Structure 1
């Protein structure tokens, strides 16, 4: 019997084990009163008679006897293993409490037993105090405290320990957890309890100091810097917290060792570390290190390489004999797991078909602190794609996805092509860029084949803009629809409207904006693969705007005086293969017709007449930003465009030098007139209008724009985006002058609303819209921007990121005034929210450090709302 009990020590919780011993004791005592003459050490065989059950339980007698494994008529030794096994089985069922077994009587060689027990109580209600409402569900799930669970001492103990450890890992090292249970007494026979869970997390503990002992090579400052997420209190630090997080601390202890390894001390280790609780409710960390000795690289040899020579691999490794030993850098040069497109030996093999290759550095000697390395390479067979498939594209048609895939069946495996495919699928905007997963299926090293599957998760690709507001003297209403995965071939198929024809990757947008003073209508369509064979994008757009003049006497729109613009554009953009296939060459032809009907303002020098703008635009751009187009983390995007009109002055026979002289003469006569009713004034004004009408009948200009963005991931999610912009509007014929259209207006949110004269609104936050250019706009501008971004969430339902920015820019009237360093500066904070149904929304709070033109005091704070535009 003692042996049986000892075997249970390792299988039962302590408190349960004590109860088990108590049950055995009851059994022995009971047995002793019935049969004192038995020898307990040897036991005696009996035939088991009836078994009865007593106690507070909802289970039937037969069920409990079955659980115990005892049965009537069985021959068994008392005391013996049968009784102890029966008690153990009942304990292990986790259904019962206070299990006791008695001998009720003995008749000859027949023994009668009674099992006395009670049911474990079930959890009825759970109340959690000390945490936010939104956290309670996760506690219930993680601690398995669902209603109906059996409440045992073990459950209470493990729940306390789990929650204490959980919050200590989050920095609440003074967490205290108290659990109370209250028995529920009612007419229901099942034993039940209510549980009250009190959690006192206390305050997160801050780190007052980090002390190192034993370090001579690396000073305290360098070691503290190596601890990326464990920092002591510094009120000047913004991005890193000084609160103690145990999991981050443990990881940073590893970073300390890595820091030593990077400096050649491969044997460095942490002897001990301790947490000291200070009287001011802070803690100090004490870390004892053993630095070891400095090591250098010795001979580095390659074994097993046949595809690449030793010299080629050495150039990739970029480590020479005599260099300070750096095990971390050695591993990165062989396989940098932090960068899928890293310049390392593993990628060199994998980008050329050797998927099944393995490369392992082995230290073969460390004599005199000089480490000789053998890099052992198993190249394996070149791998070929056996099949390539896509799953998850329920709405997007297969051909739209497959034409972006860079891996084909029968093609030699290339990791670079897999990475590029993931990027191209993310750039489409139809799938959640964070969820695209390339999966290797059925890799067969012996045959050298692999099946490739790209798993995608579709997101909403259509957007609606519906808004109203008060501005410009009246109500402004806007309705916009943008379908970014449209299928025009299905437009007449009734079954395709779910709710619109989708799946071919085309883009269609409709927009209507109206108020008392203007109406704007626009339509655009683009096909990214014209003809379906090559990535040649065709686009077209049509727009019409009608603007009415404001009547100051009636404070209403004078609809007899209007300015109308009608425009149409056709464009082609082709993806290039040289210098690389991130380049795109775009071309477009556009025509705008400007009609003025008694529309006299300071914006134009004539109030009646028309102007025609026929232009050709050519642009070269390169975009290799990382997977997510909403939140790029790496790469760059730049573009340069030239917009050119026909040089009409070369062949239209107009003497613009004489025309300019006549214009200047008319200005002088008009200025010398005694009044606006004077005949001289009227005639001079008429001549000025006629000359302007002649000069601007067909607009003549050239316009150059450049913009470049670069993205650098400073930490895991923190992204820095520098940006540079430049624009210049010029004239072929100086006598004809620079046109009053197509100019640059700097300042504000960069949203042009309706632009009557083809102007470009240049964002510069911290100042009112278009406030940093003169009334006619500038012919030159430059802008510099530095933006720091951090994501709140990048889920498909809503991508949210916060940002901080520094900006500077200005516009100029001519090159004589141009000074790229004489700019208006600003800084601020903002947030962006991208929802598939509504596009990009955001708000910025910018502070202008310089005065507006004509003012002497800095502008100060300005709020900007962003709709449907990404910066």
Structure 2
């Protein structure tokens, strides 16, 4: 930049008299003049008067030529980054008046970009990330920055020999514009052929190579971690090698040199020289300055004692584990109990022979209390919905654990992008012992349109639903609140229509998570009606005169518990269904005209401590155990179900004119009021293996039983195993249990099963977790079994499957996905394995 100003200054000295007459060949140095006029030349796209106005010069103004004012004008114009050259000339002098010419050369603007050498679908990302937008001023620096960005981008992907050539071509269709052509030649990926260590005797080559998480040797069959070479990752791996030594007691280990040798076959070799040093052991570990906790208590958290092999990495993590915000370490112990301003400093005080003594010096500071707690970024969700979820309240003792828990619960509301919740500590005052915190949130769409499809029960099943997950029922009569519906109070309202050729189902549900607004007591209610027609599986025809009408309603209450911890929830529900059969003869019942009533109470205990994102949990677990039961009518109705056929009221005369039990009447009496109990358990555990690779482990079990063996197990409420878990085309209480790799409901009999279990393992990895769409891929293995009664139940005689799939969650449509599963076992009645099955997942999550 200084060269530019020096050039301008010299140019002023040499050419200031460019247009002067013979009588006006000199100007007194630093003489004051009155500006008589200024002319702008060289502009193409700018208004001349605009340029003059920006200089700040005006006719009649007193200026010194040459002087500081002229220099400031030039600096100001350079600062606009709009010109490639700026010159000021004197055109004439009349007495004490001076006339100037401002000559500028405009920078061209970018009108179009063409990128070659990469796939078309990647061009848009390049243009966006490199900021190659139309109207951008094209400077040498801009071109150089674009080139460096592309070189670094592809270097990070392993294209170490990438070449980028950028040319600009004048665009004659626009004023002072250029087209840019970006030619990219990525070349071949540079892969690591050999990693050679020198000087390592204590740790083997294999152990050190395993410590290098990002830089791997090339060999046939490696697919889980590519062997591309990325310099930044390699530097990280060098640190990991030293850490590996520290974990094994070699505190003084260091890398003396590392070199890279490029081979002719587009690979490279890495040579790493090491100095291992001697192995060390922990000596005395003393705590200094601690008054809140005893040495013994802090020692248990540290978990290291005199004589243990020195492990510097573990030692640092036990002091403060930066990889786990809720880790069990000494720093968190203090911060979870109000000591925000505490400082934990481990100091090596002695190293004698092979033993190292430490002092852990603690400055506890004052206890910190929350003074201000605020939330920002919520435009739709009302403040009270957020504040009732906060576990950090003004006047409350600071707790890092409560901050982490608040982030989790805000993320699981479903109204905000869980990856963007950002708590900011502010106004921290160590002397006063006060602190403020602001939870920054980014809202996302919480309402959904459910479009679900699948095959089941002999035909295509379609579902249309509207789900408003942040509804405001108190504003339902407020016309101004409809944007497009009243939102912001955290209630859930759902309307659903499900239909096929053989049935129609209508349902409505409402849920208030904070009944009364003071405590997390969840109230829910739902009503539904379904009309099901009998169909012929051979012809596929539906008989509209043979129908099964089901009307139901449910009311539920759920409360968050405080014991054993407040991740537990206890829920209660009272449900009633009325089943009305009209000329509906199937294998389920011996009667086709009649009715049944199902009055049941359900109690469930659940626990959910999964991590922030409910779409892609990376840690924690969720499980639920429930008991659904009806009143034991047979205990007090004085009906002898074992000998009911002996009662003349339940007898009929057959074709041979014999008196026989009327099974239709008997079953009508048995099922007038359904009597049963149903036990279910489901659990999922999420384990973060490495980076964002997550293992989901799942277990399910269900059992349907009867109080009275003479009444038997009811034909309702049964389990149907196999397929994608869709096909819930009846509301007779049946449950469709997914087991991929098999056709829907194919692993249970026609009447369903009374007992089942299922085990699954699923590896998940996210492609993107952005608010607009969360996408992750998965692989799975699972197995399950279903039986007609408990006597034949064998939990380990499983129908097994494995496969791959992908899930896409969009706020407006919910979860979408597809799975390709291979069933290793034959379905009942077949000989060959089930083989490959494709499952489309819409509006459902495994």
Q: What does residue range 645-724 of structure 1 map to in structure 2 within 5 Å?
A: 645-659=630-644, 678-680=656-658, 684=660, 687-724=662-699
Q: Say whether residues 1:456 and 2:463 are aligned partners.
A: no
Q: Is the 8 A contact 2:286 2:360 kept in 1?
A: yes
Q: 1:173 aligns with which of 160, 164, 180?
A: 160
Q: Is the 8 A contact 2:448 2:467 kept in 1?
A: yes
Structure 2: how far apart are the matches of 1:327 and 1:732? 62
Q: Which residue of 2 aligns with 1:34?
A: none
Q: Is the 8 A contact 2:253 2:277 kept in 1?
A: yes
Q: Is the 8 A contact 1:96 1:117 kept in 2?
A: no
| 3-state SS of paired residue (1:250) | helix
- Residues 385-433 of structure 1: CA distance to partner in whole angstroms, max 9, x if unpaired? 1122222222222222222111111111111111111112122222222
Structure 1: how far apart are the matches of 2:604 and 2:76? 80
Q: 1:662 to 1:784 in 2, by over 3 A?
A: farther
Q: Which residue of 2 aligns with 1:760?
A: 735
Q: 1:559 aligns with which of 544, 547, 550?
A: 544
Q: What does residue range 798-837 of structure 1 map to in structure 2 within 5 Å?
A: 798-837=773-812
Q: Which residue of 2 aligns with 1:771?
A: 746
Q: 1:600 to 1:201 in 2, by over 3 A?
A: same
Q: 1:501 to 1:302 in 2, by over 3 A?
A: same
Structure 2: how far apart are the matches of 1:345 and 1:284? 42
Q: Is the 8 A contact 1:170 1:246 kept in 2?
A: no
Q: Say whether residues 1:630 and 2:615 are aligned partners.
A: yes
Q: Which residue of 2 aligns with 1:128?
A: 115
Q: Is the 8 A contact 1:296 1:370 kept in 2?
A: yes
Q: Which residue of 1 aligns with 2:263?
A: 278
Residue 502 of structure 1, CA deviation: 2.0
- Residues 742-796 of structure 1: CA distance to partner in whole angstroms, max 9, x if unpaired? 1111111112422253211111110011111112222111110111111111122
Unaligned runs of 5+ in 1: 1-7, 29-44, 77-82, 104-113, 671-675
Residue 603 of structure 1, CA deviation: 2.2
Q: 1:263 aligns with which of 234, 248, 251?
A: 248
Unaligned runs of 5+ in 2: 16-27, 57-61, 91-99
Q: 1:339 to 1:102 in 2, by over 3 A?
A: closer
Residue 132 of structure 1, CA deviation: 4.3
Structure 2: how far apart are the matches of 1:516 and 1:47? 96
| 3-state SS of paired residue (2:639) | coil
Q: 1:295 to 1:128 in 2, by over 3 A?
A: same
Q: What does residue range 335-350 of structure 1 map to in structure 2 within 5 Å?
A: 335-350=320-335
| 3-state SS of paired residue (2:662) | helix
Structure 1: how far apart are the matches of 2:196 and 2:110? 50
Q: Bigger shift: 309-318 or 503-512?
A: 503-512
Q: 1:774 to 1:660 in 2, by over 3 A?
A: farther
TM-score, structure 2 normalization: 0.87
Q: Is the 8 A contact 1:97 1:117 kept in 2?
A: no
Q: Which residue of 1 aligns with 2:766?
A: 791
Structure 2: how far apart are the matches of 1:228 and 1:858? 40
Q: 1:186 to 1:322 in 2, by over 3 A?
A: same
Q: What does residue range 472-511 of structure 1 map to in structure 2 within 5 Å?
A: 477-511=462-496
Structure 1: how far apart are the matches of 2:607 and 2:81? 66
Q: Bigger shift: 762-771 or 693-702?
A: 693-702
Structure 2: how far apart are the matches of 1:776 and 1:822? 21
Q: Say whether residues 1:432 and 2:425 are aligned partners.
A: no
- Residues 792-828 of structure 1: CA distance to partner in whole angstroms, max 9, x if unpaired? 1112222111111110001112232121110100011
Q: Which residue of 2 aligns with 1:600?
A: 585
CA RMSD of aligned residues (A): 4.2
- Residues 585-634 of structure 1: CA distance to partner in whole angstroms, max 9, x if unpaired? 11112222222222111222322222222222111111111111111111
Residue 150 of structure 1, CA deviation: 6.7
| 3-state SS of paired residue (2:271) | strand
Q: Which residue of 2 aligns with 1:400?
A: 385
Residue 221 of structure 1, CA deviation: 0.8
Q: Bigger shift: 157-166 or 853-862?
A: 157-166
Q: What does residue range 111-190 of structure 1 map to in structure 2 within 5 Å?
A: 119=105, 122=108, 125=111, 126-133=113-120, 136=123, 159-182=146-169
Residue 292 of structure 1, CA deviation: 2.1
Structure 2: how far apart are the matches of 1:337 and 1:634? 16
Q: Which residue of 2 aligns with 1:353?
A: 338
Q: Is the 8 A contact 2:629 2:678 kept in 1?
A: yes
Q: 1:611 to 1:303 in 2, by over 3 A?
A: same
Q: Bigger shift: 732-741 or 469-478?
A: 469-478
Q: Say whether residues 1:218 and 2:203 are aligned partners.
A: yes
Structure 1: how far apart are the matches of 2:457 and 2:130? 59
Q: What does residue range 86-97 of structure 1 map to in structure 2 within 5 Å?
A: none
- Residues 713-747 of structure 1: CA distance to partner in whole angstroms, max 9, x if unpaired? 11221111101111111121222222222111111
Q: Which residue of 2 aligns with 1:420?
A: 405
Structure 2: how far apart are the matches of 1:351 and 1:336? 14
Q: 1:622 to 1:138 in 2, by over 3 A?
A: closer
Q: 2:376 aligns with which of 391, 403, 408?
A: 391
Q: Which residue of 1 aligns with 2:724?
A: 749
Q: 1:851 aligns with which of 821, 826, 846?
A: 826
TM-score, structure 1 normalization: 0.84
Q: Is the 8 A contact 1:303 1:377 kept in 2?
A: yes
Question: Whose Rg is larger?
Answer: 1
Structure 2: how far apart are the matches of 1:73 and 1:391? 53
Structure 2: how far apart are the matches of 1:98 and 1:505? 60
Q: 1:662 to 1:227 in 2, by over 3 A?
A: farther
- Residues 408-463 of structure 1: CA distance to partner in whole angstroms, max 9, x if unpaired? 11111111111111112122222222222222121111110112222222222222
Aligned length: 819
Q: 1:841 to 1:662 in 2, by over 3 A?
A: farther
Q: What does residue range 475-624 of structure 1 map to in structure 2 within 5 Å?
A: 477-550=462-535, 556-624=541-609
